[in-house]
């Protein structure tokens, strides 16, 4: 039996009537595939977007019926193009870091924490005309004290910075992934992809994905903008293009972890073997030579079924945030 959306939703879908109608219609029809189901779940479950953000989303979604998933994804991109993925010359900050979204800002985060961000080395190297092998060699040489390698990496960073926009940057903490990135196994890059739920790095055919890890402190993020404007944030469904690998984090009970939580794509058969990951968003920073950490190769697709990963994720999310009510009505109703 179909359950009315308002009995399940934590985002105020009353302000998004066309989206509400589309979601209700799709859930009442034939079974959804795992990706469309994930997109719908993310908007039904996310309780973090404040009303000004929902109003902005409604404006960019346009006052027309949503015909199918592709149409919704395209209209969501209208929002991210205008409010999230802003050009470098834009005066305003992405919605994520504006005062109206302060409820999701991490004002108490330890500035001494090191952050780790995964970047697409293939795109970087192609865009500036170097090989991934050359970049890897220079990173290793710089870490051994090679001054010429330092200058080379600063040149790469300068050109790269000029081409990057102001979209929020997903990152994790070094503490969360130190077992993988420090002296990890040969397939550490694939393990990191799985831990962080980076399902878009999943080569099914063709060449592998090469990645480069960037490492920097929270303090460097805080110093990147004016006072009070550079706090990292907990991700919501509005802060990037739609992704089935995203899962919204509830507002926790007091004194609980306040980071976002990644869907772990590591292949496990039992819920008890699942390990939840950590993520946050922060404003764009200019990269420097010192930020280049290491390179890796992702040669195989992830093996964990998406729906199984999400089903394992929810109980751990409820436990860590002491929110056993979060998602329970929705996941208890068949699609």
pLDDT at res. 184: 78
**Same domain as 111, residue 77:** no
Residues 144 and 246 in one domain: yes
Per-residue confidence (pLDDT) for residue 227, from 0 to 100: 63
In a domain, residue 164? The reply is yes
Q: Are residues 59 and 188 in the same domain?
A: no
Structure tokens at 113: 């924490």
Q: Render each residue's pLDDT in the chain as its tens digit; 335 residues.
A: 333 343 444 788 888 999 999 999 999 987 789 999 999 999 999 999 999 999 999 998 888 999 999 999 999 999 999 999 999 999 999 999 999 999 999 999 999 999 999 999 999 999 999 999 999 999 999 999 999 999 999 999 999 999 999 999 999 999 999 999 997 789 999 999 999 999 999 998 778 999 999 999 999 999 987 665 679 999 999 999 999 999 999 988 776 657 999 999 999 999 999 999 999 999 999 999 999 999 999 999 999 999 999 999 999 999 999 899 999 876 654 43
Which residue among 83, 117, 132 closes a domain? 83
Residue 91 lies in a domain: no
Residue 331: the pLDDT is: 65
Same structural domain, 324 and 232: yes
Look at the chain and report how many structural domains it folds into: 2
Integer Cα distance of 294 and 284 in angstroms: 20
Give the model's pLDDT for residue 76. Answer: 97
Does any domain span residue 159? yes
Q: Specify the pTM.
A: 0.92
Asked if 117 and 219 sit in the same domain, the reply is: yes
- Do 128 and 242 belong to one domain? yes
Claim to verify: residue 60 and residue 114 sit in the same structural domain: no
Domain of 297, in residue numbers: 106-331
The verdict on residue 95 lying in a domain is no
Same structural domain, 50 and 166: no
On whether both 68 and 122 belong to a single domain, the answer is no
HSE, side-chain direction, 13 A CA sphere, residue 3: 13
Where does residue 325 rank: exposed (0-12), middle (13-18), buried (19+ CB within 10 A)? exposed
User: How many C-beta neighbours within 10 Å does residue 100 have?
Assistant: 12
Q: Is residue 210 part of a domain?
A: yes
pLDDT at position 225 is 79
Residues 263 and 219 in one domain: yes
Are 179 and 227 in the same domain?
yes
Separation between Cα atoms, residue 40 and residue 7, nearest integer Å:
15
Whether residues 147 and 284 share a domain: the answer is yes
- Does a structural domain hold residue 267? yes
State the Cα–Cα distance between residues 278 and 257, nearest whole angstrom. 10
pLDDT of residue 191: 97
Instruction: Specify the pLDDT at position 13.
Output: 85
Residue 94 lies in a domain: no
Q: 3-state SS of the chain?
A: CCCCHHHCCCCCHHHCHHHHHHHHHHHHCCCCCHHHHHHHHHHHHCCCCCHHHHHHHHHHHCCCCCCCHHHHHHHHHHHHHHHCCCCCCCCCCCHHHCHHHHHHECCCCCCCCEEEEEEEHHHHHHHHCCCHHHHHHHHHHHCCCCHHHHHHHHHHHHHHHHHCCCCCEEEEEHHHHHHHHCCCCCCHHHHHHHHCCCCCCCCCCCCCEEEEEEEEEHHHHHCCCCCCCCCCECCCCCCCCCCCCCCCCCCCCCCCCCCECCCCCCCCCCHHHCCCCCEEEECCCCCCHHHEEEEEEECCCCCCCHHHHHHHHHHHHHHHHCCCCCCHHHHCCCC
| 88 assigned to some structural domain | no
- Rounded-to-integer distance, Cα 118 and Cα 123, Å: 12
What distance in Å separates the CA atoms of residue 171 and residue 153, rounded to the nearest whole number?
A: 21
């Amino acid at each position: 039996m179909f359950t009315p959306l308002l009995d399940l939703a934590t985002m105020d879908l009353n302000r998004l009537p066309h989206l509400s109608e589309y979601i209700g219609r799709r859930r009442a029809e034939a079974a959804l595939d795992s990706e469309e189901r994930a997109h719908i779940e993310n908007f039904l479950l996310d309780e973090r977007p404040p009303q000004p953000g929902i109003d902005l989303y409604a404006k960019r979604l346009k006052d027309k019926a949503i015909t199918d998933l592709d149409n919704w994804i395209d209209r969501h991109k209208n929002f991210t193009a205008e409010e999230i993925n802003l050009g470098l010359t834009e005066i305003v900050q992405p919605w994520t870091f504006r005062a109206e979204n302060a409820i999701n800002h991490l004002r108490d985060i330890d500035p001494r924490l090191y952050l780790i961000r995964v970047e697409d080395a293939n795109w970087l190297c192609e865009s500036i005309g170097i090989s991934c092998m050359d970049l890897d060699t220079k990173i290793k040489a710089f870490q051994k004290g090679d001054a010429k390698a330092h200058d080379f990496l600063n040149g790469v960073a300068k050109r790269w910075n000029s081409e990057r926009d102001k979209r929020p940057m997903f990152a994790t903490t070094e503490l969360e992934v130190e077992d993988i990135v420090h002296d990890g196994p040969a397939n550490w890059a694939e393990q990191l992809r799985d831990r962080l739920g980076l399902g878009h790095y999943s080569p099914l055919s063709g060449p592998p994905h090469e990645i480069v890890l960037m490492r920097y402190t929270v303090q460097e993020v805080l110093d990147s903008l004016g006072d009070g404007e550079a706090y990292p944030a907990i991700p919501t469904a509005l802060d990037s293009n739609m992704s089935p690998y995203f899962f919204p984090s509830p507002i926790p009970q007091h004194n609980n972890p306040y980071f976002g939580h990644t869907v772990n794509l590591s292949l496990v058969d039992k819920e008890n073997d699942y390990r939840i990951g950590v993520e946050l968003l922060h404003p764009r920073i200019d990269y420097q030579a010192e930020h280049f950490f290491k390179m890796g190769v992702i040669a195989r697709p992830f093996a964990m079924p998406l729906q199984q990963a999400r089903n394992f994720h929810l109980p751990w999310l409820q436990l860590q945030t002491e929110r056993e009510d979060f998602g329970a009505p929705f996941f208890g109703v068949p699609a």
